[in-house]
Chain A
Amino acid sequence: MKRKKINVDRVFNTFNGLIMAIVLIVTLYPFLNVLAVSLNESLDTVKGGITIFPRKFTTENYKVIFTYQNLLNAFFISVLRTVVGTVAGLIASSMVAYTLSRSDFQARKFFSTFLVLTLYVSGGLIPGFLLMRDLHLINSFWVYILPAIVNAFYIFMIRTYMEGLPFELQESAFIDGASDITVFIKIILPLSTPVLATIALFIAVGQWNSWFDTYLYNGSNDLLSTLQFELMKILQSTQTGSDMARNNNVLEQMTTVTPDSIKMAITIVTVVPIIMVYPFLQKYFVKGMTIGAVKS
């Protein structure tokens, strides 16, 4: 009997480990491949067969990217919009979510339905642009922050989490004379760090990756350009650069780097900074702080 049990455990552990290893390889391999290609000589990459190690090491692909001007400024704007956008988004979304989580809020149903609608119906590109123009948000940094400061999906996630917190905690605070704001800041927010960290990550990644709003609203203003937009431009122009050869009148062809290698290097440049945020948020993904907080 006893021996058999151990065997079952062992079998489970082996398979579990095996499956996890496969998952790890499947998710990690494409990334390592991108890294290897980005560090491999372009003209060698054309021959194919690069796996996870570069065959002919070079930093040329990165050099091409970093010779472009305005990258530093764009990087700064990207960081700024990520930080400001995340902080502002968290504050705004959690405030709405808290209000909606309170069952004594009269218009709760109306606002919930209203928010749900925004998940399904959007104004579309051109009306959106016209609205931003009339709000004088074009050519401004705030167009990155304000239009998407609250997001219905995030609100619902936070609200659901807050509803799961024992209401007795708030009740006891009210009895002690705390105001709504105090309860929100002192009790609800500290208890909601797991969901807030998750949402923060969502917003931050979204802000970091976004380039289309830059293109739509601030495309002509170099000072407000974002890193992703600049990288997108580099990618596009290396591609048109090689397409230009079609016109036959462009004789000087790009000989050292190919668009594919540039694409891989750009991917790495984009991904690495935001990956570095994950470890810092890791510690907030701890649940169970409320367990045992209320004795009934």
Chain B
Amino acid sequence: MLKNKKIVLVFGLVIFISLPIFSNSNKEKASETSDKVTTFTAFFADPNSSWNGMQDDVGKFLTEKTGVTLNVEMAVGDPAQKINLIAASGVYPDLISPKGDNGALIESGALIDLTDLIDKHAPNIKAVLGDQIKRLRHSYEDQSIYFIPTLDAINQYYYKVGGPFNLQLDVVEKLGYPEIRTLEDYEAAIKAYVEKYPTIDGQKTIGLSLLADDWRIMISTTNPAFFATGAPDDGEFTIDPKTFDAMLHYKRPAEREYFRWLNHMNDIGLLDKESFVQKYDQYLAKIAAGKVLAVIDQDWEIGQAVNSLKSEGKFNRTYGKFPVTLDESYKIPVFQQAGFNGGWGIAITKSCKDPVKAIKFLDYLASEEGQILVNWGIEGKHYNYNEKGERIIPADVLDMKINDNNKFKKETGVGNYLLSLRYGDGNKDSTGNYYTTNYPEQILSDYSDFEKKVLKNYNATFWKDLFPKEDEFPVKPWGAAWNIPIPNDSPITVFQQKEQDIIRQLIPEAIMATPAEFDGIYDKMLAQLEAIDSTKIEKEYTSYVKKRIKLWTE
């Protein structure tokens, strides 16, 4: 009997507790219809854990100003799954930001063409874009504008060097700051240091380590080949700047020489023997131990290991970035500008309650007032102007921003509303201040004293000073080729899979072979690429590049 009573009690409790759950849906409806505030539902492909349901300072201000509040759902796991579900079920949110997985939405007609809405209701968006509004058009066949780009900022000016040729600061310091300009210099520095210091902290010194763990092989092993030979990052294809012909970048004769150099590094024992078998975490562990002199990689890939070194105060084991190329006739094009890429952004769907209000909301975010709001916060609270008219973040706010960024974003909302068109770093507003909070002086505070000392010996303040500048290269008229939308049914998609299988097998094989065998293996690789119709695919790719250029200029 006692047992039965307990069960009844538990059941009673469960039912009592679940009752309020039933009534949820009613509550929500009530809030939607209240006075002038419109609640737009939205789906974002990028999760943002700092999103606070617009209850942060900036969010409240935005609601007051625009009469809009957002009820956001964010992707978890693979966004494509949910987006395809949204497209197929016809249950669209008011706004959607699908990133790359927009094909199904466009094909099912879920998105509305924004051309007219922008023309009539969005003066700020128009002003920010200017001529580049052409770059928003979806494709040559379908010239509708579906997205207000949010991923790429306009006129983004980069201060930071991402990579790829890193050399430990201790190496250049101990060797008396030699010029590091070519692969030869790079190799000589590594070699001299290894001979001088065969061990670091009791562990064997590793000259150069590469990473080839799955897709990461592109970042650390194959992409640097085009950087070192003067070609910009266009993914697996390289685009001829005059004829716009696409070609697999491995076919460029100069790149064979780059891989030959890696083969040579292996031959003389400077290349880490584990390069092509190590996993990402093993690679990071090596770098974090401070024993790897040179890594050819991007900043974001080795960031964790470098942070680990910094946390232990081993600043001499962190890396400097050098404009290394095959020989002096090349210029490393890491700062070559692609222009505004358009592309991924936020769209208004067919089921949107009030498209005009939605576009006006996005337009406000793109206005000068709006952009300062989303980047800096609210005047008097998150920033002030000093007597010189410079925008300053108060010390307590800055302290929270640096040391507890998560809390900062949640409470202030700064950085949570990059939902519309905006200028990138390095652009000044009408008050003469930068739109964004990233500016050159800020990077300096990130440098360690050791780093500053090394840079001073190279007569530079920033790593960027060592590199060829933006204006030394023409702006690429095709943008970045890797984000040209390729239809799912195109043979290019299948080709790229096969191509990767060949590359990931034969490039490591060529590098690990003896110098005499190198050419044979490289030729075998090119022959295999030819066997899967690479020439035909290149022609197909060329047509997409040319179409994009036509779409953007006509």
Cα A238 to Cα B46 in complex, Å, equals 11
Partner of B17 from the list A80, A129, A222, A251 (CB cut-off 8 Å) is A80
Residues in A with CB closer than 8 Å to B88 are 126, 129
Cβ contact within 8 Å between A221 and B24: yes
Contact indicator B406/A245 (Cβ below 8 Å): no
Interface size class of B (residues with CB under 8 A): 35 or more
Q: Is the CB of B442 within 8 A of A251?
A: yes
A49 to B284: give the CA distance in the assembly, Å: 12
Q: Does A271 contact B (CB under 8 A)?
A: no
Q: Which residues of A contact B74 (CB under 8 A)?
A: 219, 233
- Which of A7-15, A26-34, A39-47, A107-115 is the interface stretch? A39-47
> Smallest Cβ distance from A265 to chain B, in angstroms?
14
- The yes or no answer to A288 lying at the interface (CB within 8 A) is no
Contact indicator B307/A253 (Cβ below 8 Å): yes
In the complex, which residues of chain A have a beta carbon less than 8 angstroms from the beta carbon of B17?
80
B402: A residues at CB distance < 8 A: 252
- Proximity string of chain A (201-239) to chain B, C-beta cutoff 8 Å, 1 when within and 0 when not: 000000000011001100111111000010011101110
Residue-by-residue, is B197-224 near A (CB-CB < 8 Å gives 1, otherwise 0)? 0000000000000000000000000000
B235 at the interface (CB under 8 A from A): no
Lowest 4 A-B CB distances belong to which pairs?
A: A48-B285, A237-B49, A245-B300, A220-B73
A246 interface residue per 8 A CB criterion: yes
Judge if A248 is at the interface, Cβ distance under 8 Å. Answer: yes
Write out the residue numbers on chain A whose beta carbons fall within 8 Å of the beta carbon of B46.
240
Of A69, A211, A219, A243, the residue contacting B300 (CB under 8 A) is: A243
Question: Please, which residues of chain B bring their CB within 8 A of the CB of A43?
Answer: 288, 304, 307-308, 311
CB distance from B436 to the nearest CB of A (A): 8
CA distance A44 to B443 in the complex (A): 25
Contact (Cβ within 8 A) A141 B303:
no
> Would you call A189 an interface residue if the criterion is a C-beta within 8 Å of the partner chain's C-beta atoms?
no
10 extra interface residue pairs, beta carbon distance < 8 Å, beyond A139-B24, A141-B21, A237-B47: A48-B284, A129-B88, A139-B25, A219-B74, A220-B71, A237-B48, A237-B50, A248-B162, A249-B153, A249-B424
The residues of B that contact A64 with a CB separation of less than 8 Å are: 406
Q: How far is the CA of A183 from the CA of B81 in the complex (A)?
A: 47
| Residues of B contacting A139 in the complex (Cβ-Cβ under 8 angstroms) | 24-25, 28
User: Are A133 and B311 interface neighbours, CB within 8 A?
Assistant: no
B76 lies within 8 A of chain A by Cβ: yes
B405 sits at the interface (CB 8 A): yes
8 Å CB contact of B76 from A125, A133, A211, A242: A211
Query: Complex: how many Å from CA A216 to CA B84?
Result: 12
Return the chain B residue nearest A77 by Cβ.
B21
Give the nearest-CB partner of A228 in chain B: B76
Knowing A80-B17, A129-B85, A251-B160 are in contact, say whether A246-B285 is a contact too (CB < 8 A): no
Contact of B308 among A47, A212, A251 (CB under 8 A): A47
A263 to B443, CA, bound (A): 30
CA distance A258 to B153 in the complex (A): 27
Closest CB-CB distance, B109 to chain A, in whole Å?
Answer: 17
Which residues of A lie under 8 Å from residue B310 when comparing CB positions?
Answer: 255
Collect the chain A residues with CB atoms within 8 Å of residue B49's CB: 68, 233-234, 237-238, 241
Which of A46, A84, A251, A260 is the one whose CB lies under 8 Å from B446? A251
A233 in complex: contacting residue of B22, B76, B153, B300, CB < 8 Å: B76
Q: Give the chain A neighbours of B73 by CB distance below 8 A.
A: 219-220
Give, as a whole number of angstroms, the nearest-CB distance from B215 to chain A: 13
Q: Place the interface of chain A in its size category.
A: 35 or more
Q: Indicate if A130 sits at the interface (CB-CB under 8 A).
A: yes
Check if A282 is an interface residue, CB within 8 A of chain B: no
Given contacts A43-B308, A44-B308, contact A126 B14 (CB under 8 A): no
Chain B residue nearest to A128 in the complex (CB): B85
Q: Give Cα A125 to B89, complex, Å.
A: 10
Whole-angstrom distance between the alpha carbons of A247 and B21 in the complex? 41
Complex-state Cα separation, A212 to B85, whole angstroms: 13
- Asked if B18 is at the interface (CB within 8 A of a chain A CB), the reply is yes
Interface assignment of B448: CB less than 8 Å from any CB of chain A: no
* Nearest-neighbor residue (CB-CB) of A220 within chain B: B73
Residues in chain A within 8 A of chain B (CB atoms): 43-44, 46-49, 64, 67-69, 80, 83-84, 87, 125-126, 129-130, 133, 139-141, 211-212, 215-216, 219-224, 229, 232-234, 236-238, 240-243, 245-249, 251-255, 258, 260
Bound CA span A97–B304, Å? 54
* Cross-chain contact of B85 among A216, A229, A247 (Cβ < 8 A): A216
Contact A215 B82, beta carbon cutoff 8 Å = yes
Selected A-B contacts with CB under 8 Å, 9 pairs: A43-B304, A43-B311, A44-B308, A46-B284, A126-B88, A129-B85, A236-B75, A251-B443, A252-B405
Also in contact, A245 and B41, with CB within 8 A (given A47-B288, A83-B14, A126-B85) = no
Q: Assess A224 versus B24: contact at CB under 8 Å? Given A216-B85, A237-B49.
A: yes
B281, CB-defined interface residue at 8 Å: yes
Closest CB of chain B to A183's CB: distance in Å?
A: 18
Given contacts A236-B76, A246-B300, A248-B162, contact A46 B305 (CB under 8 A): yes
Known A47-B285, A220-B71, A237-B48; contact A141-B22, beta-carbon cutoff 8 A: yes
Q: Is the CB of B18 within 8 A of A84?
A: yes
- Provide the bound-state CA to CA distance between A49 and B76, in Å: 31
Task: Determine the chain B residues whose CB is within 8 A of the CB of A67 once the complex forms.
Answer: 406-407
Residues A215 and B77 in contact in the complex (CB < 8 Å), given A139-B24, A255-B307: yes
Q: Which residue of A lies closest to B443 (CB)?
A: A251
Q: Is the CB of B300 within 8 A of A260?
A: no
- Distance of A219 Cα from B93 Cα, bound (Å): 12
- Complex: how many Å from CA A219 to CA B82? 10
Contacts of B298 in A (CB 8 A): 246
- The interface centre, meaning the residue of A44, A49, A249 with most chain B CB atoms within 10 A of its CB, is A249
A139 to chain B minimum Cβ distance, whole angstroms, is 6
- Chain B residues 382 to 431 lying within 8 A of chain A, measured CB to CB, are 401-402, 405-407, 424-425
